[in-house]
Each structure stands twice: as C-alpha cells, then as structure tokens.
Structure 1
C-alpha cells in the first residue's frame, strides 16, 4: 500500500521540539466545509495527531466542487464524520474525534475549550464566530480566525491580552435599499433581484406590507412637495390595476395567469410609473414590455450570451419571458398541491423559485435598461452568496497552519493578520500571466524555507 508523503517531507523537517508539540497537542477545528476540509488535510500532513472537529451541517451536492474530502455518495451525511473518515484513509495514525453538532450547544462550554492548546475557526457565519471568540477568550486559548469570500481571504490570530478579539472592531451589516428605489427607480441589478424576491413572497409566500412591489405613489421624488405626493397616493387607490389590494388576492383572482401577471408587472405598472414624470427628469425612463409583442419575436432573433454551463448563460427577453411563464405555472401547481391557504418559502436551492426570481429580475432589468444577468449571478446575489473558490480556501488553510506553527513555537510576536487576494487568470491581462507564474514559483520556493 502506498503512503502519501507528509507535509514535513514536502517542505522539509520541523525542529524536534516543534514536531513533538504537533504530536502531543490537541486542536479543535470548528467547521468542516470549504476551509475546514483543506485545513484537516493540512493538519494531518503536517504532523498534528490529536484533532477534534465539529460541524452542524450535512453534505450537499453543491459542496462537491470544492470540499474535496466529500464524494457524491456522501450527500446527506454529516460533514464532520465524513471528513474524519476521509482523512483517516490517508493518515490512519491520526486520532480524530468528530461531532455532528453546533458549537453553540451548551455542552461545549469553557471547560470543553480548555481541553485544547489551539482552536481554529473554519466557519461561515458571524454568530458562531462571535461565540467561539468569546469562549476562547474566557478559556484563554489561542484562536486562529479565518474566512474567504470569493477571491478574498483572511487569517488572524486572536490571543487574550495580546491581540484584538474578533468583536473588537464592528463588522459591516447587510446592505439595505430604500423601498422607493426598489419599487420605482432601480438603477442596479441587485435592486431588481430584491424586487423579484419580494414579488415571490407577495404572490406565493407570506405577504409583507413593507415589501410591496407595486409603484410607490408616495415617492418624494415623484412630487415637488409632500402634499402632492400624499394626494397622488390617495388617487392611486382608485386606479385600476394599481389599486391597493392584496397582490396575492389579485393573482388568485386571475388563476395565477402568467400572461396577466406579466402584463401587470412589466407593462401596466411600468406605464403607471411613466405618469410620475418627475422621476424621469434626470434618469432614463423605463420601457414597458408587452407579452403579445414579445411572442412575435422570431426565435432566431433571440440571443443567448455566453458559452459554457446553462446557469452561466444570459437569455434574451423572449427566453426570460418563457421562463417566467413556466416558473409561474410550476409554483401555481405547488400551491394547489399544498391546499387552501398554503404558502411557499423562497429558497435559492429550489429550482422553480430560483427560475421565477431569475426571470422576473432579468425582465425588470431589461425594462430599466440594465444588462441582464445569468442565473448563476442572480443566485449569488439573491442568496447573498459570494461564490466559494477552492483555490482561495486552500491557500487560507495553508496560512492557518503556518500561524499554528508559530503559536506552538511560542512565537506570538511573529504572528500576523494575513489578507489574501487571489486573481483568476481569466481576469488578468496577458502580460501579467508571466509575472504571476514567477510569483507562484517564488511562493513554492519560499514554502521550502518555512
């Protein structure tokens, strides 16, 4: 049986004292996802023997493109347990304990944390990060915090009394958008995507008066003074399709007819917005869409921008119109199956819900003269997702281990907060490819000196 080389064989031997520390110390890895899988692999190859890993999640198909300890046969199983089994296959001498649980469970208290010489975070949410940060401070255990977001990554060491803690600096909150921007004057694709998610709930889910999608007649920009705006809002209550009735009730009265829904959302509502002429004094006016006119477009004239995977293609107006129709029909069927008074919950991983949001958002982008987006891009923004990049996770996991070696060597003064920005070759100018290749070679040479 062939044996994989250890990390020390690849980069050179460690000092005996440090190697002995790796063999005897106990470390806790919190998270067995993108960073966690890479980190567990690095730890055992470096020489760490006593590792405990905890993760609440189970394996999903979408994890398989970057979490390389998992295979298709593992879908639905515990990430922590499968990660342990996979690592033991190429390092049977490791002593790994896996917990399929939340680190915020009271069982993992301060006494639990005191069992370790080092804690390493590989988490994807702020609440758990805050909790681990507090527990490590209370137990006086060094913590290596890490994270990635697309091509960006960071690693930082947190030690009580010597460094800032995770919560010492305020973290940015999720961006919100004014309701009148979403309903009347979207200027960015994200505005249309938020509008489409609101629309899904108004039609098929739990209605929220604060997330209405019809034109906002009280928009202060639509009138020269508040009195005019209030008068316009009152008048709109008697105005045909725009009257203040429940969006869901109106949709039900049409039998969720895709054509009527389409013409209300992308024609009638837009034509009403055009009557609010003060909105368009300094911005480009929207262009209504008509179902009948779109159906007359020859299929050969319909463009699909981009090659490759289906989710990375951008359809034309006719394509998104048909996708809108199909998704409405499917969602209507799901409501019927659930019975009277049923509601659907939007989920980025539900194909029909994602089809609806992608189609509705792109049609609205077209109405407001924006470049339309692929399903992949819409899903990333609609689910507040920054796509995970396997390479970034791998580099960050390597940096975590380097910081861990410094800690175990008692070189706290050598610990650094590391910020990483990777680049895709596709985004670089040709003349930079050679430079990057040379830098990569230098990094490999440097690793042999560590």
Structure 2
C-alpha cells in the first residue's frame, strides 16, 4: 500500500468518525468499533484477524488503564465525601484573598486534578466555585474557568492520568521527566487559558442566571466538620509522591538493591494509586467517622460512571491497533519520514483530529500515540517527554458538542450554546495551541 493511499484511508476513517458521531449522533464506542473493523477490512485484512486485532488493542489498553481509572475514581470519591477536596479549596482561597481568587482556583484545579479525570474533578470543585462566587460577589465564570482550565491541563499533560501514561508507554518516555516538564509547561498554559482569559471573556459573555444546581449548592451544607488541610493534601498527593520516589530510586540505587526494589514497586502507577486509595479509606474515611459499609458503598457506587470512559479508552486502543496491524501506521511512518514532518506537529494534529471526532481527550491521546509511537522508535528525533505533552495538548483542543466537558460547563454555569463555544471551546483551544508553541522551540534544545 502506498503512503498516500494509507494516509487517505486513515483520514477518511477519521472523517467518518466525525460524521457518525457529530451528525448521525451514533454512540462513540459503537462508532469506533464499526470504523475500526471497516478500516481493517478495506485494507484487505481477513475478518478473523480484523476482529482479533481490535480485541487485542482494546485489551492491551484496558490492561494498563482499568485499574488506574477505578482506583483514581475511588480516591476522588472519598476526598469528596469526607470534605477533603473542600478543605483544600477553602484553605487556599482563604489564604489568597478575594482579588486573587481566580488564581487560587487555578492552583486548586492543578492540585485536585492530579489524581482524577477532568469530569470527576469538575464535579468535585464546581460547588466550591459557586459558593466562593456567591460569598465574594464575583461572577461564577471568573472562578470556574480558571479551575476548569487547570483541570484540563493536568488531565492532558501531567501523569498519573491514564492517557498520559499510555503515551509515556508508547513513546518510552521517562515518567518523572514527563511529570516535571508537564508541571513546568502546564502551569503557564493554565495561567493564560484560565485566569487571564477568564478576565477577558467573563464580562463579554453576558450575565448568567442562577441555575437550580447553584441554588442547591449554596443552600445545603455538605460537611459539618472538614478534615485538616495537611491530611487532605497528603492523601491527594500521595500517588504522585510515590511515583516520584520510584523514579528517584533509579538514580540512587542499583536495580539489585532492596531499597530500589521496594521504591520501584511502590512507584508503579497501579500500586501507588492502590496504596493511596487504601490510605484514603483509613485516613479520610474511618477517621472522619464513615463506617466500613459506607466506605464500601462509596467505592462501589463511584465505579458505575467509569464504564463509558473505559469503553471509549479501549475502543481507541482497538482503533490504533487496527492501524498498526493493517500496515497503515507503517505507511504513514514512511510518508512522514519522507516528507520530514516534525513529529511534534504530526502528533498534535492527529490528537486534535481524533479529539474532534470522538470528543474524548483520552481516546485522542491513545490513538495518536499509537500511530506516532512506531515513528519515534525509528527516528529518535525528538524528546519523548515533549512528545507526550504535545500529544496531550492536541487532545483537548476544540471541545465541541460531543465532549462531556462541554455539556458540564454549559449546564453547571447556565450558559447557552454560543456562550459555551466562546468561552470553554476557546479555553481548550488555547491550551492546545500553547502546548504546541511552547514544546516546539523546547524540542530544539531538549532531546
């Protein structure tokens, strides 16, 4: 198969994805399944191989992600139910003062967004944004936009989010380096897309009427006594600390040393989240007065919403595997190498296209990294850590009507479609564009 034909088929598959999801309104998982199998059959793969390829790709991805999603959701649920997330937000806000509240909300989003998905973090923190806007007589978008922008940045660019970890695996990147550069690059991006753009756009989208949700959050007290700020932060940041410890052990001890084996084991993503979740059951749950039955109910109930997330992640992995097994990825690799397309640009564009098609940043990162990973393996022309970040940045651009976050922002803030497009869609696009513009010049000095 010629490289041009392979590129045309891949582009056609992405266009079909966009049409079926955006216009026909077909379920994204069903669409990815259909398009993946159809693409494999068009390239000449036998039917049995086409199906097994999709299943293998889906299983491989979920093998890495399912545990992370489940444990991260449990951790976020316990933080929400015990008031730990509220304590973090209120303490930082009290320290910051009214004038710096938008910046405080950005910091809160960066912290709380570390172990949870965007949708989970948004649900945890939007009541705080509503309460603080009422108490300080500030427009809700001025606080909600910085918080949401920070959540989106951590979701896209900072481990231990599953999509970022998958990109790290696909590009053979160093987790600690990716975490470091994700924070260094992501923080100014969150500042520009969050507080700075919120200062510009909040007065220009018009007044927003209070919603029923807003009235509920401001009339009902959820927690009588909050856990301490130190305890809440320690629980929240424990997975990151354990993973950094595992990376640090590689620099200090040889692989045969006992401290290395212990730290490296605890620094594994699944183990770090498991330890943090178990500690949250005890530190945040039992010590806050929750019974074992209540903790069990919370940890069971919170898993139901993750089913759709896992299915989409798995389907994205199946789509990426079809591209590889059918030879399309190899042909695109040859085309990209022959045309000297910068890998950073290629990864960013692919992630953005899949994001538009599926509405999922996680699927976009998974699919794009599956295509670009083999190219990086043959060229080694760019820092794998920067490639992870630029793929994540592209995966959040152009949040449209097929993105769950789009509707969360619209409904919780009481915006109409035009207001949401001018505010939230622009915030996500700013994050994507800045990620590419910052990583490109950095790639000239970092390899």
TM-score class normalised by the smaller sequence: under 0.3
Q: TM-score, normalised by structure 2?
A: 0.23
Structure whose residues are more often helix by fraction: 2
TM-score (norm 1): 0.23
Larger RCO: Structure 1 or Structure 2 (Cα < 8 Å, ≥ 6 residues apart)? Answer: 2
